[in-house]
Chain A
Amino acid sequence: MASTGERPRTGRARARLGETWRSFALGTLSVIVLLSVWQAVTAGGYISPIFLPSPLQVFRQARRYVTDGSLFWHVMSSGRRVLIGFVLAAIVAIPLGIVLGTSRVAKALFDPILSIIRPLPSLSWIPLTILWFGIDEGQKYAIVFMGTFASALLYVMESTRRVDPLLIKAAQNLGATRVDVLREVILPGSLPGIISGLKVCLALSWTCVLSAEMVAATQGLGALIWFAKDWNNMALVMVGMVSISVTVLMIDTAFRAIEDRILPWERHQRRRD
C-alpha cells in the first residue's frame, strides 16, 4: 500500500501536456479568426474607421508608442500606482482581517463600518480624495486603497473564519497555545483563501486606477486613453485597452508563480484536479 499514487504517471502527464497544447492551439486559432474578421470588415469599408480602426492601424499606432518608449512609461505609471495602492490596502487588510476573523467582539465593532464602505465604487471617492490629496500620486494611491481595502478585508476575514475547526482542536490537543494556533493553524490555513481574494482585489485596483487617471492625470494608461479620445484617435484608445489586458495578464501569471512558491501543499492538489 506504500506505493499507491506516489510516482507521477508519465502516460497521464503526457496526456495532460497534449491537452494543454490543444487548448493553446484552439485559443490561438480563435484570436486569429477574430483579427482577420476585424481586418476584413474594416479594410473592406463595411465599418468606417471613425467607429472602429482596423487592427493594422492599431498595430502601427502601438509600434510608434512602443518604439518611442512612451507606452512603457504609461504602463509603468499605472502599474506603480496599482502596486503601491494595492500593497498598502493588503498591509492593512491582512492583519485587521485576521483579527476580525478570530475575534467576535472586533467583528461586531467593525461590521457596520465595513458594510457602509464596501458598496462604494472607487469612482465615488474621487472628489474627496482630490480634495484631500490634490491630483498628484497620493490621490491615485488613495483611490486604489479605498476601492480595494474593504473587499480585501472581507476576503481575509472569510478565509480566516473558514479554517477547519477540527484542525484547531487537533493542534490544541497536541499542546498548542492560542498564539501557536494562530501561527501554525489559522495563518497557513487561511493563506490560500487570502491569496485568491487578493488576486481579485488586484484586478479591482486596475479598474480603480484607470478611472482615477481618466479624471485627473497626465500619465498612465487611463490618461493615455482619455487623451486619445480627445484627439479622436481610436486606434490609440485601443492600444491603451490592449496594453491593459496584456499587463494584467502578465501580472496574473507572475502572481500564480508566487502562489505556487508559498503554497507548496496546494500545488499537488491543483495538479490533481
Chain B
Amino acid sequence: MAVSTIIVADRVTKIFAEGRRDEVAALQDLSLEVNEGEFICLVGGSGCGKTTFLNLVAGFLSPTDGVIYLRGRRIAGIEPRAGMIFQSYALLPWKTVFGNVEFGPKMKRLPKAERRAIAERFIRMVGLTGFEHFYPGQLSGGMQQRVTLARLLAADPEVFLMDEPFAALDAMTRQVMQEELIRIHEQSRKTTIFVTHNIDEALILADRIIVMSARPGRVKTSIQNDLPRPRHVDMQLSPRYLELKTQIWGHVEEEVRRHIEATPRDPGER
C-alpha cells in the first residue's frame, strides 16, 4: 500500500504582534508532511513553536505566511477535522462524563441512540465505565484526561492533535496514560501529532520524532523511530532505545542552549 500524506505544512511562518516592538517570530518557514495513520511527536525546548504549530493545524491561529493542507484542503478557521486535546483538559464542567463524550456526536446531529452507543463504547475504551454520571470536577486529573481522550475518539476527527496532554499528571499516572494511548492508537490508527518536551514520552509513542529548532521554530531533524511495536515501558532499557535517545537529546540540547542564550524571556509559547 502506498503511503499517502494527510497533512502538508508548506513554509509556514507565524509572527505574533507583527510590526510591533515586541513582535515574536514563533515559526519560520516550517515545512512538514505527515502520513496517514502516522504518530508523530514534536519535541523541542520551550519557545520553539510546537504549540503554535498545533494551534495552526487546529485553526485556532492563522499563519502569517504559508499554508497548511489537511487532505488537500487548506485550513482556514477552526477545524473540526483536526481534534485537539489540551493540557488543561477543557472539559465542560456542567456536563457529566457521558455528556462530554457525547458532545462531538451531538454536534454532528447524530440520532440519540447512536450517540449513546458511541459514547458508551469510548467510555469503556478509556476504562471509565461506571463514571458516566460523574462531573469532571469530581474526577482526578488522570481520569479527566481519559475523558478528553474518549471525547476525541467519539468526535472521530481525521487527525488527533495533542498538546502535552500528560504534562500535568504525576509520573506514574502519565506512564499508565501513555500505555493506554499506545493501545488506543494501535486500535484506531489515527494520524496523531503529539507535542511534548519529554524525549522518553516521544520514544514510547511516536513512529517519527520531529525535533524543532529554537525560535523561530522550524524542523531541525526528523528521526524515524524504529523501536518495535507493540511497545511497553520496559523497552527503555534496550540498547536501541538508548541510542535513539542520545541522538535526539544531542539535537535538542543544542537548540535549548541556543534558546537560553538568545532570549531572556518567553512570550511565544502558550
B92 touches A167 (CB 8 A): yes
Would you call B103 and A173 a contact (CB within 8 A)?
no
Closest to B134 in A: A6
Contact indicator B140/A265 (Cβ below 8 Å): no
Contacts of A1 in B (CB 8 A): 140, 142-143, 172-173, 176
A11 at interface (Cβ–Cβ under 8 A)?
A: no
Contact A184 B173 (CB under 8 A): no
- In the assembled complex, how far is the CB of residue B216 from the closest CB belonging to chain A, in whole angstroms? 24
- Roughly how many angstroms separate A166 CA and B108 CA in the complex, as a whole number? 21
Q: How far is the CA of A172 from the CA of B94 in the complex (A)?
A: 17
Q: Which of B34-42, B77-85, B181-189 contacts A (4 or more CB under 8 A)?
A: B77-85
Interface mask (A216-237 → B, CB under 8 Å = 1, otherwise 0): 0000000000000000000000
A 165-201 contacts with B by CB, 8 A: 166-167, 169-177, 180, 184-185, 188-189, 191
Size range of the chain B interface in the assembly: 20 to 34
CA of A177 to CA of B77, assembled, Å: 12
CA A130 – CA B143 in complex, angstroms? 60
Q: Is A27 an interface residue (CB 8 A)?
A: no
Partner of B103, one of A166, A171, A191: A171
A6 touches B138 (CB 8 A): yes
Whether B249 sits at the interface, judged by CB under 8 Å, is no
Tell whether B267 is near chain A: CB-to-CB under 8 Å. no
- Asked whether any CB of chain B lies closer than 8 Å to the CB of A4, the reply is yes
Cβ distance A3 to chain B, nearest Cβ, rounded Å: 9
**Known contacts A2-B143, A184-B103, A268-B137: A170-B93 contact under CB 8 Å:** no
Query: B102-161: which residues lie under 8 A (CB-CB) from chain A?
Result: 103-104, 107-108, 127, 134-138, 140, 142-143, 151, 155
B104 & A265 in contact (Cβ 8 Å cutoff): no
Residues of A within 8 A of B95 (CB): 265
On chain A, the residues within 8 Å of B103 by CB distance are: 171, 174, 176, 184
- Given contacts A1-B143, A174-B103, A268-B138, A189 and B80 within 8 Å (CB-CB): no
Given known A-B contacts A1-B173, A2-B127, A268-B135, A171 and B140 have beta carbons under 8 A apart: no
Tell whether A67 is near chain B: CB-to-CB under 8 Å: no
B86 within 8 A of A: yes
Contact B135 A174 (CB under 8 A): no
- Known pairs A175-B108, A268-B138, A269-B137; A170 contacts B90 (CB<8 A): yes
Cα A175 to Cα B94 with chains together (Å):
18
Are A174 and B58 closer than 8 Å at their CB atoms? Answer: no
Chain B 43-89 interface residues, beta-carbon cutoff 8 Å to A: 58, 60, 78-80, 82-84, 86, 88
| Chain A positions within 8 Å of B137 at CB level | 265, 268-269, 272
Given that A1-B176, A268-B135, A268-B137 are contacting pairs, would A170 and B84 also be in contact in the complex, using a CB cutoff of 8 Å?
Answer: yes
- B104 near A189 (CB under 8 angstroms)? no
The answer to whether residues A189 and B135 also contact, given A170-B86, A174-B80, A174-B151 and a CB cut-off of 8 A, is no
- A264 and B90 contacting across the interface, CB-CB below 8 Å: no
Q: Write 10 A-B pairs (CB below 8 A) sorted by A numbering.
A: A1-B142, A167-B90, A169-B90, A170-B86, A171-B103, A173-B79, A174-B155, A177-B107, A184-B103, A185-B92
CB within 8 Å of A: which residues of B? Answer: 58, 60, 78-80, 82-84, 86, 88, 90, 92-95, 103-104, 107-108, 127, 134-138, 140, 142-143, 151, 155, 172-173, 176
Other contacts beyond A166-B86, A167-B92, A173-B83: 20, CB < 8 A:
A2-B127, A5-B138, A6-B138, A166-B90, A169-B78, A170-B90, A171-B92, A172-B80, A173-B60, A173-B78, A173-B79, A173-B80, A173-B84, A175-B108, A184-B103, A265-B95, A265-B136, A265-B137, A268-B137, A268-B138
